[in-house]
Amino acid sequence: MSCASALSHARTSIVLGRRNTVHAHRRSSVVSRATTEKTSTPMKLAFLGCGIMGVPMAKNLIAAGHDVTVWNRTESATKPVVEAGATLAKTASEAARAADVVFVMVSTPEAALAVAHAAKEGLSSGKGYVDVSTVDAGTSRAIAEVVRSTGAEFLEAPVSGSKKPAEDGALIFLCAGDEGLYTRCTDPLDVMGKAHFFLGDVGQGAKMKLVVNMIMGSMMGAFAEGLTLADKSDLSQETLLQVISLGAIASPMFALKGPSMVAGNYPPAFPLKHQQKDMRLAIALADELAQDMPVAAAANELYKRARRDGCDDEDFSAVLKAVKK
């Protein structure tokens, strides 16, 4: 994919209420800079985690001219990144020692904390550690404590987006922690994403990501119910997709996922087990704040049912299977 026009940049500051100032940086194009130009300031980076998201993110960094060292618990998963030009490290600490800034993308809070401990020996003053995994605020604070105990800076930066945005460099990073590290990471964040926000202290980025994914999961649950109700009412699901696309509830997610859902195909861009994990964490956050979440709680039950039915590793749109039962 190429970009016909030059990329433009805008930086704004937004004050939310009286408590936090949020800095946002956006690119007008959703095409990754990694596919169009080399970075002007190559950095020594490590990337820990080579899954559905980590592989395209690391490859974009390499294509943009950054020096990337990669590690994954299962070494074979690093093959596409190594073939793209990354250096393979045998351990997480070895990768961290070779880099100025470490990026981490793993699937669960438990894995994220374990990787921080594994990388700890390779961290030191002057280095940065950026965890882009989706975790709860408490886990993020625990990771920050591990990282900062070495003298390194910490930034949580969970991403909004799935496999295709990761490939296109069109992710959205929700950052919090050490603002100096956030500023230092502007170029790699621009390579991997179309926007990034600084939200304040550690935990705020994690909370924002859970809110976003809770909304997304609830929307998908309602969408699955609508497709099922249309089908059982002898209405064309394809026509429903067209009607939705022309109205106020039109959504890129519905447009992207709808046709494959109608066809009964669920290739995993965002595995259902991870969506249910995020719903659970969002509901737990609401419990801490005594906030009612009846819609999200009901949607979560659908994802739990789909997991019991063996849909863990299918796309989260496979929640349709639970609705159709």
pLDDT at 25: 57
Beta strand extents in the chain (DSSP E only): 9-16, 20-27, 44-48, 67-71, 87-88, 101-104, 128-131, 153-156, 159-160, 171-177, 193-198
Active site residues: 209
Q: What's the half-sphere exposure (Cβ side, CA atoms, 13 Å) at 280?
A: 12
pLDDT in tens, 215-253: 999 999 999 999 999 999 999 999 999 999 999 999 999
Please say whether the beta carbons of 230 and 258 come within 8 A.
no
Domains and CATH numbers, the chain: 38-200 (3.40.50.720), 207-324 (1.10.1040.10)
Residue 119 pLDDT greater than 50, yes or no = yes
The predicted structure's pLDDT at residue 23? 59
pLDDT of residue 19: 38
Taking the C-alpha atoms of residue 209 and residue 157, their distance in angstroms, rounded to an integer, is 9
Taking only Cα atoms into account, the Rg of the chain, rounded to an integer number of angstroms, comes to 20
Using CA atoms, how far apart are residues 299 and 294, in angstroms rounded to an integer?
Answer: 9
Q: If pLDDT is split at 50, 70 and 90, which confidence band does 267 have? A: very high
In a 3-state reduction of DSSP, which class is residue 37? coil
Q: Which of 8-17, 140-149, 186-195, 254-263 has the lowest mean pLDDT?
A: 8-17
Residue 38's pLDDT band (cuts 50, 70, 90):
low
Binned at pLDDT 50, 70 and 90, residue 32 comes out as: very low
The structure tokens listed for 197 are: 């926000």
- Kindly indicate the confidence band of residue 37, based on its pLDDT and cuts at 50, 70 and 90: low
Question: Taking residues 19-41, what's their average pLDDT?
Answer: 48
3 confidence band (pLDDT: 50, 70, 90): very low
